Amino acid sequence: MPTSFAYLGVVTVWSTTALAINWSVAGMSFTAALAGRMALGALAAGLLMLVWRQPLPLDGASRRTYLIAGVAMASSMACTYFGARYISSGLMAVLFGLSPLITALFASLIIGERPGRGQVLGMLLGLAGLWCIFRDRVSLGPEAHWGIVGGLMGNVLQALGAVLTKRHGADTPPLATATGALTVSALLTLAGWWLLDGQWPATAGLKQWGAVVYLALVGSVLAMSLYFLLIQRLPTAHVALITLITPVTALWLGHVANDEAVSAGLLTGTALIVVGLLVHQLPLWKLWAERMVREAE
């Protein structure tokens, strides 16, 4: 698959993921919603492997990749699903908009991708945006701080997992990586649901189950396969650039489809985060512009 198509696919799915998570946890416990998503996702990915007759590599390097990616997925999604009960889907997506900044920080510490002055400025602008959102937490809801903390923790764990997968991951096919990671994540989240809840969500309706199925098939299998493809082909920070557009589109979707209020503090924080992302990724824009000029000559 062309890298550009994979990139566009991940952008589209991630723009709708926060809203689907919000819908799924509205009718069942967050552990049930997460375990259902991961279990269905792992099953669907395994069936695709069988249909396409793709082997699942089980060498030491591949198993390490599945474990790293699966643990990161389960832990980050657990924090995200917990936080989704207290804040809007738009705010959750905005928090994940900080992913490039946090990913770049981990990439600097772990794999030596040193940030320039512009990238440091971008991180500071992102922190300023986050501060605006925290300051506005009263209008976001009395328990919004739990959602913000959960979203940030999920963001940190996802970014750390991406960098560790980049450093220690094997060169396995994207679908195989997604299948292995989803299997590990499904086992962990099912165990978490059994220990913390253990109750079948009998009151969940079609909307909630539809969101779980969408997240499992599209948000997990398709998006994660494309995501791991991008991780293999592109620098880590470039992959994280996907979240540049998703905060804006997710805010709009949450307002239109879920009647979510958008406060002045949230808009200000979102604007600062997006500007910070633009500044942080300015070297990437320059490289793309130079490449387009060379191709046009």
Res. 81 pLDDT band, cuts 50 70 90:
very high
Cα–Cα distance, 41 to 35 (Å, whole number): 10
Res. 294 pLDDT band, cuts 50 70 90:
low
Its pTM stands at 0.79
pLDDT value for 157: 92
pLDDT value for 40: 94
pLDDT value for 270: 78
- Give 28-44 pLDDT, tens digit per residue: 999 999 999 999 999 99
Q: Is the pLDDT of residue 137 over 70?
A: no
What total of structural domains would you count in the chain? 1
Lowest mean pLDDT of 54-68, 201-215, 227-241, name the range.
227-241
pLDDT value for 66: 93
Q: Is the pLDDT of residue 239 over 90?
A: no
Q: By residue range, what is the domain housing residue 47?
A: 3-296
Q: Is the pLDDT of residue 23 over 70?
A: yes
